[in-house]
């Protein structure tokens, strides 16, 4: 009888070790997570306020292009007003105005077959309100 009692106690001990091995790591992980969450501070952020358009002077624009003032360039997919599809129409419109003022010869109809454009945002690092969007347009004939 004593042998049977030792087997039963051994089986109970093995079952308790298996249960403790399954439950104890999860409980320790939860306790660690609770400790970390107790140490985390909550911080509220103010909502972003958009400022009105600031008219950037020509001197600031030249400084942004020359990057002498610590300007940063960010390549964009689309500008504030135009995108890659509508910039060609705007270019034709502007060239027509220059033609009417006799500053530019009349563009040929097939001249815009090799047309490429890219847009870049120039921002001054120390004053982010001073920025501009520059379209670079290449026409090859």
Residue 138 tokens, joined: 């290449």
Q: For position 12, what pLDDT does the model report?
A: 92
DSSP 95: H
pTM metric for this prediction: 0.47
- For the chain, give the number of residues: 141
Residue 50 tokens, joined: 């958009």
- Tens digit of pLDDT per residue, the chain (141 long)? 777 888 888 899 999 999 888 888 888 888 888 888 777 766 676 675 655 666 777 777 777 776 655 777 777 877 777 777 788 788 888 888 888 888 777 766 566 667 778 888 888 777 777 778 888 887 765
As beta bridge partners, residue 85 has: none
Rounded-to-integer distance, Cα 15 and Cα 11, Å: 6
**Tens digits of per-residue pLDDT, 99-140?**
888 877 776 656 666 777 888 888 877 777 777 888 888 776
Q: For tokens 């001990």, what's the residue?
A: 13
Q: For position 81, what pLDDT does the model report?
A: 74
Beta strands at 131-140 and 114-124: parallel, antiparallel or unpaired: antiparallel
Residue 44: Cβ-neighbour burial (10 angstroms; 0-12, 13-18, 19+): exposed
Q: For tokens 């020359």, what's the residue?
A: 66
Non-local (6+) Cβ contacts of 84 within 8 A are 77, 78, 117
């Amino acid at each position: 009888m004593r042998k049977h009692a030792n087997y039963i106690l051994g089986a109970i001990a093995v079952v308790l070790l298996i249960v403790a091995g399954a439950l104890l790591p999860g409980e320790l992980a939860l306790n660690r997570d609770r400790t970390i969450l107790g140490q985390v501070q909550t911080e509220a952020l103010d909502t972003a306020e958009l400022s009105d358009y600031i008219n950037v002077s020509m001197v600031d624009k030249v400084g942004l292009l020359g990057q002498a003032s610590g300007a940063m360039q960010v390549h964009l997919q689309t500008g504030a007003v135009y995108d890659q599809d509508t910039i060609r129409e705007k270019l034709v419109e502007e060239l027509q105005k220059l033609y009417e003022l006799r500053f530019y010869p009349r563009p040929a109809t097939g001249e815009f077959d090799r047309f490429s454009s890219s847009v870049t945002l120039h921002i001054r690092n120390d004053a982010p309100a001073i920025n501009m969007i520059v379209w670079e347009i290449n026409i090859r004939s």
